A and B are shown apart, each in its own frame.
Chain A
């Protein structure tokens, strides 16, 4: 069965620190990959997605993610976090051509001013 692992449950950073959140998946076929963000008191929003092409994907608010097929990974990065990046981040994976998404359990990011 497919699974998505986010090993960091809670990350605490100071403003301007660099961020990398891990995401690994278990499916061996072709996949689409997503990062969602949930800000406090709001519903989920799409941060970025990878379908094909350049494995380095740039999303909103300065976030980017790199798809490394050989490592089954899609880690999220940001060079310099801000207090407003405090949120819950979810990685999700979908088999190409299917619709069901498999979500990781999320990583809570707390940015200290």
Chain B
């Protein structure tokens, strides 16, 4: 199993450009989520999905879109990049058992918006 795979690892954008961060998991998890990490703030939830075709907003959704057409993939789209979106982005997938949620993280995407 590859686990959770994020691409690209690094990206530089100009203000106003659009791009998609890819996330794929091969563990057949229903739940996937996107976080951003900023200095001194830990991880903040952007969007999440509880299954194919279902998405919802997290703590900081503005400026980002997601879709979940398959169980495996959960891409994050920036429609018009802004410098405030310079951050490190983590995708995660998880499953729920009787004792709660078990999270698996990708290795992150470092995004700089100039």
Contacts and interface: CB of A to CB of B under 8 A. Distances in A.
B90 A38 contact: no
B43 interface: yes
Given A99-B110, A100-B88, A101-B88, A43 B43 contact: yes
Contacts of B59: 43
8 contacts: A36-B43, A38-B101, A40-B101, A44-B42, A45-B42, A45-B43, A88-B101, A110-B99
Interface in A44-76: 44-46
Interface-central residue, B35, B37, B41, by most chain A CB under 10 Å: B37
A68 to B, nearest CB: 24
A88 B35 CA distance: 16
Interface SS of chain A: strand
Contacts of A101: 37, 88, 90, 105, 107-108
Chain B binding site: helix, strand, loop or mixed by DSSP? Answer: strand
Q: Which of B43, B45, B99, B104 has the most CB of A within 10 A?
A: B43
Interface residues of B, number: 23
A33 B10 CA distance: 21
A24 to B, nearest CB: 17
A10 interface: yes
Interface of B: 9, 33, 35, 37, 41-45, 58-59, 88, 90, 99-105, 107-108, 110
A99 B36 CA distance: 12
Contact of A90 (B9, B33, B103, B107): B103
Nearest to A87: B100
Interface range on chain A (Cβ under 8 Å from partner): 10 to 19
A103 B35 CA distance: 13
Contacts of A103: 90, 105
Given A46-B42, A102-B107, A108 B88 contact: no
**Top 10 A-B pairs, shortest CB-CB distance:** A46-B42, A100-B108, A43-B45, A103-B105, A44-B43, A99-B110, A99-B88, A40-B100, A101-B108, A100-B107
